[in-house]
A and B are shown apart, each in its own frame.
Chain A
Amino acid sequence: MKSVYAAVAAIGIALPAIAIADPPQSPTMDPDKPVHCQRDRTGEVWRIQCDDAKRVCLYAPDAELDADGNRVHPLERVRDCAEADGFDRDRLEKAGYQFVPGRADAPWGWSRDERGRVFQVNFDLHKRMYFGVGYAPQKIIENPLQSTRTSIDFGLLVLDLYDRGDTTRHRIRLLQGEVNMEPFSADVTLAHYDMSHRFTDPLFRVTTFFGEPARHDLHLNLGMFTEAGGLELRQTPYGNTELWKHATAQVTLDLWQSADLESFVRLRTGGILEGQSDPVNGYRSALTESTALDVDMTLDPAGFHNLRFELAHELPRYFTPYVPNVLVQRMRAKLQYEQIILAINDQPISLNFSAGGEKRNDIPGVPDQWAFVVDAGLRFSLWAPPHAR
């Protein structure tokens, strides 16, 4: 009952009520150990799991309970258990086993409360659809009064393909982007695919003979990065500019990879086929050399803390000269931290903080200096299943 009162309080007076401490939760059965089912004298089924080392057996009802303790639903996301499998409670009690109330086990990435209700506690934000809204006070060095921006961001499909034990992770993104207001700007990418691979054989190995001989392997974990249909829109004193990144192709070198390839630090370099249009110069095409450092880290096993960083440099080579005797270039950096704060029906809502800067001289009317933006917002994600175990 106490948890119900806490729920009512939470809805009524918002989050601080949740801080009301519940009594200590009963222990949970181990999802990797066998569980037995047995009927009591009234015919109700109970789930039982025994620990032979501790001589303790946990027992829990084989059903979800209502607030009054009545059995109301079958348990969800629970393993089958056999009733007639030779489990002998009387023999165990005579042998000194202690029977303690517990909670039925839940699969990896899920938890179960005292009433047996299951809920997700591990989220893979690399498999989701998301959209969010942010507030971004902007400070430009020469325009300190320009300080209000609101933004929306979206990703219609974020999908990493990876199975435990794979040496390759494929990353697919569809229609991902961000639109800022006042001043207006937009960055959208229609389709993205990149791939990380772990090469098990070293490129070469070095053996050192200082003291004990030791072997040091050097791996060259190469991958690829591609995008199609990129669009950047910027507002300038002369009007709106468009930068169409028709196609991007880059080679990646992973400087560091996590065991499941979800987190990485990598360098990438390659080319972009692009077209740019502004009110002063009209349309011009370019082949652009681009290089970037990417960091993408999931900081905890449950996926609640996520960090991303990008530092990119682009050198457009226009087919028709744009500004003579000037090296035209674009630089940008963005640091982003996303933390899941709650989940509604197992769909996470996260806080998103980001700080970024951009310096470019390819657009007339935009000062050739760094402009910085910080941004804080909320994101709603759909799907986000538990990480692969």
Chain B
Amino acid sequence: MIDTAQRLALRRGPASLGLAAAVAALAGVAHADPCTGISSGGSRFAACFDPGNRLELSGATIGLSPGQAALGGELALRHDITFEDEPDLVWKMSHELLDVEYAPEAGRFDGLLYRGIFVRHSRDGHIVLPTDPPKKVFLPFDIGAFVEVGRFETHSPALASLGIVETAALVDLARSHSQRFRLAVGPSGSWRVDLDRMPVALADHAITPFSSLLLDMHGESDDGLLVAELRGEAGYVWHLDRGWQLEERAEASLERTILAVNDRPIAVYADVRYESAYSETIAGVGVRLALFSRHDPRVSLDPPH
């Protein structure tokens, strides 16, 4: 986030940059307190975390009764792209890679190669019409895109599915400057294939020509200890073997960090997933351990000199 001091520096040039940096540094110390804990022995520890930047392992029990053990992992990365000459414009980039979960007893493997959510946040939403001269019509939302590549799921010993690609044009109504909140909705298009597992063969193609609506919600507490997500999708999907079908899919999760080891957070989570195409509802409760986690920038583990 670019504060007033930095903005001043951008406008006034290098001479003011030093002053702005000093102001920003002072501000950083002031803000570090809520995110930096100090033990009775004077040691400092992180009290805020960035759940969007971590390499995690998870262990869960899935299914309602009886539960079956599942192991998983994921690499999550997120970052902002900002512009010096347009400080109120930010591209919020969120990536998830190699999101896998394996339940050996159930013979179930779910994996995702890549998911990206890109939101362009600007002070003014607008449409530009290519008239001469161009005209600008203002809109109260940010826009973005959702991309998913290589989503593999096993649904039964005989059936699996591979989501080759899914994309959606998003309208983000939350218009948050940070990545902590998102309330996005938009039409989605996808191509998925169903696979017979024994023997392995293509069974069906399912195509959504932007005839589904995707809803994506994300919320985090300011300290990153609580994370909630909801993603739902409903619409008409065309199948090669049976034509148009109404399908719904939804997944929701809630995560709470309960402790940290060496400043690496450990969280408990619960999630539930529903997919009408396979008449599937799966719920799970588990523990998530961050093998690597980026420190929240407000955390200051080095004592002040």
Contact = CB atoms under 8 A, between A and B. Distances in A.
Size category of the binding interface on chain B: 35 or more
B191 A131 contact: no
A115 B240 CA distance: 53
Interface stretch (A92-100, A310-318, A337-345, A364-372): A337-345
Contacts of B207: 152, 179, 181, 184
A280 B130 CA distance: 52
A345 B167 contact: no
A298 interface: no
Interface string A63-91: 00000000001101110100000000000
Interface in B113-132: 118, 120, 122-131
A361 B167 CA distance: 34
Interface stretch (A7-15, A195-203, A328-336): A7-15
A345 B120 contact: yes
Nearest to A188: B164
Contact of A7 (B7, B137, B142): B137
B120 A131 contact: no
Contact of A345 (B122, B164, B210): B122
Given A152-B210, A175-B149, A80 B123 contact: no
A76 B86 CA distance: 5
A292 to B, nearest CB: 25
A112 B290 CA distance: 47
A120 interface: yes
Interface string A292-332: 00000000000010000000000000000000000000000
Contact of A11 (B136, B137, B202, B209): B137
A242 B139 CA distance: 45
A28 B296 CA distance: 44
Nearest to B168: A131
A384 to B, nearest CB: 11
Contacts of A120: 128
A129 B97 CA distance: 18
Contacts of B142: 345
A342 B11 contact: no
Interface in A113-168: 113, 117-121, 129, 131, 133, 150-152, 154, 156
Given A131-B169, A184-B205, A343 B127 contact: yes
B209 A181 contact: yes
A235 interface: yes
Contacts, number: 133
A199 B18 CA distance: 47
B134 A129 contact: no
A119 B128 contact: yes
B187 to A, nearest CB: 8
Contacts of A242: 202
A284 to B, nearest CB: 17
Interface string B218-257: 0000000000000000000010100000000000000000
Interface in A1-29: 3, 6-7, 10-11, 15, 18, 22, 25
A219 B219 CA distance: 59
A60 interface: no
A342 B126 CA distance: 10
A131 B127 contact: no
A129 B145 contact: yes
Given A119-B128, A179-B191, A347-B120, A154 B165 contact: yes
A345 B12 contact: no
Contacts of B32: none
Given A6-B135, A382-B118, A175 B165 contact: yes
A119 B136 contact: yes
B147 A342 contact: no
Given A78-B85, A131-B145, A179-B191, 19 more contacts: A3-B135, A10-B137, A18-B137, A22-B135, A76-B88, A76-B123, A77-B85, A80-B12, A111-B133, A119-B128, A119-B134, A133-B209, A150-B209, A154-B165, A181-B209, A182-B238, A343-B127, A344-B125, A345-B143
Interface of A: 3, 6-7, 10-11, 15, 18, 22, 25, 73-74, 76-78, 80, 107, 111, 113, 117-121, 129, 131, 133, 150-152, 154, 156, 175, 177, 179, 181-182, 184, 186, 188, 233, 235, 240, 242, 304, 340-347, 380, 382
8 contacts: A7-B138, A117-B136, A129-B147, A133-B210, A342-B127, A344-B125, A344-B139, A345-B142
